[in-house]
Amino acid sequence: MNNEHMNRVLSFRWAIFAALGAAYILVFFNQMSVAVVAKDIMKDLDSNATMIGVMASIYFYVYAAMQIPAGLLCDSVGSRKTVSFSLGIAAFGALLFGFAPTIQVAMIGRGLVGLGVSAVFIATMKIAAEWFAVREFAKMQGIITSLGGVGVLLGTFGLGWLAKAFGWRIVFQVIGVSTGLLVFVIWFLVRNSPKEKGWPSIAEIENFRTGQKPPQSPEPISLGQGVKMVLKEPRFYPLALWFFCNAGTFFAFGGLWAGPYFMDVYGLSKPQVGTILSMIAWTMIVVSPFMATLSNNIFKSRKNNMIFCTACLSILFMFLRMYPSGLPVQALSFIIIFFTAVSACTMVVAFTTLKELYPIQIAGTSVAIGNFFPFFGGAIYMGILGKILDGFGRNSDGAYPVDGYTMVLTFLTMSSILQLICSFFLKETFPEKAFEKAKMVKKTQN
């Protein structure tokens, strides 16, 4: 094997990952951004909580609906073409949202953004599977989730201050232009696999390092066959329901209603709420890479890691249900940190589990089908929580009452318990450390 080509693969892959990582930052910015400016949008576009919930959830409905088509496109047309085209749609949607004169137009813009960014995560996972070794995948998943945390930081703390200084419209208009520029970077930089550059595959490099024979190219799996393989795996369904409940809770509470909750119940200002919600981002950035270490080196298990974190999430919502108000304001930041660590950051282990259930040939399809459920959950939960709050009406000052938020917390408590039950039925996919074993064999032979 040519060492120069091998070194090029090991360095160039990080440039590709950086470009796709920038796109993923935009995905999470758009997912989380409505929470901080929800009240501004309600006032500017003359809408209520139900309408804002619907507008926010449209993004998730479209995103969820596009997961399987996006995965099939990544496996057939290629991730580079798919993500470049889809991000162009997202750029237009962000601009439309920023200029929206009515809530209906804002909904259309929000839907186009969801459509446009729907392929980013799948394409990133598919390309990571081609450019990084199996033993590196949990680590890469952790880094990707950390980058999502950067997007959350920009969409909460950053957006809170920028919206106050320039208005929410200008921020989304700038995001639209920035997304358009990123399309060109990805088109000219990203490649689906090292083979497209005439370089050795990551599997060949791994086997060269361990002294094993070069692997044979895996047999291709048709799109229809891949979908059947995913859906015929019985242990896929507890994982799918776990995704639905976990992400539904995270997106609906952390991404939308936690902001109004802190304003209405605790009387906090928008910058204060932005600062507290920015803890979501910092937690994702810091804790997500640690989740891979927790799973690989401490629990030495995917399943037990997920059971532990989901149990912690259930306990948290039981506590909040008992004390929906009256907690020290300083405690709210810790609650958000803990909430994010045991919900969003646990997705690192969940997606690694999903990827390990199936062969690499259908990585795009399996991740796409699995990734449908988190965003479908987000869409459903956002609408449900909005309906719950509107059912209790508003106070004279326009705020929703504590009783409304108590019912929201009751719903989330029940959801987290269902999620915990699902985690006990997950399949353990923690792999043997074949790479280290092979290296030891090579050292012994030498």
pLDDT of residue 440: 52
pLDDT of residue 434: 41
In angstroms, the CA 203 to CA 135 distance is: 11
In angstroms, the CA 288 to CA 54 distance is: 30
User: Are the CB atoms for 261 and 267 separated by under 8 Å?
Assistant: no
pLDDT of residue 1: 59
Report residue 35 as tokens: 């929470």
What domains sit in the chain, N to C, each tagged with a CATH number?
3-195+221-433 (1.20.1250.20)
- DSSP per-residue string spanning 127-187: HHHHHS-GGGHHHHHHHHHHHHHHHHHIIIIIHHHHHHHH-HHHHHHHHHHHHHHHHHHHH
pLDDT per position as a tens digit, 93-137:
999 999 999 989 999 999 999 999 999 988 998 888 888 877 777
Q: Has residue 338 got a pLDDT over 50?
A: yes
Q: What is the DSSP letter of 215?
A: P
Distance of CA 261 to the CA centre of its chain: 23
In angstroms, the CA 95 to CA 2 distance is: 47
CA distances from 213 to 10, 76, 205, 287 (A): 20, 29, 11, 37
pLDDT of residue 272: 87
Least confident of 109-118, 234-243, 267-276, 305-314: 267-276
Rounded percentage of the chain residues whose pLDDT exceeds 70: 93
Q: What is the SS3 string spanning 285-303?
A: HHHHHHHHHHHHHHHCCCH
pLDDT band at 373, cuts 50/70/90?
very high
pLDDT per position as a tens digit, 405-429:
999 999 999 999 999 999 999 988 8
Rounded percentage of the chain residues whose pLDDT exceeds 90: 40
Which residue has better confidence, 322 or 382?
322
pLDDT band at 435, cuts 50/70/90?
very low
pLDDT of residue 120: 92
What is the average pLDDT score of the chain? 86
> 3-state DSSP helix/strand/coil percent for the chain, to nearest 5?
80, 0, 20
pLDDT of residue 438: 45
pLDDT of residue 417: 98
Which residue has better confidence, 93 or 68?
93
In angstroms, the CA 428 to CA 405 distance is: 37
For 34, residues 6+ apart whose C-beta sits below 8 A from its C-beta are 41, 52, 55, 56, 255, 256
CA dihedral 118, 123, 126, 131 (to 10 degrees): -150
Q: Has residue 306 got a pLDDT over 90?
A: yes
Q: Has residue 318 got a pLDDT over 80?
A: yes
Least confident of 48-62, 81-95, 242-256: 48-62
Least confident of 155-159, 235-239, 318-322: 155-159
Is residue 382 classed exposed, middle or buried when 0-12, 13-18 and 19+ CB atoms within 10 A define those classes? buried
Which residue has better confidence, 50 or 399?
399
Q: Which of 5, 28, 7, 25 is nearest to 17 (CA)?
A: 25
In angstroms, the CA 139 to CA 312 distance is: 23
Segment holding 350, helix H or strand E:
helix 347-356
Q: Has residue 287 got a pLDDT over 70?
A: yes
pLDDT of residue 218: 63
pLDDT band at 214, cuts 50/70/90?
low
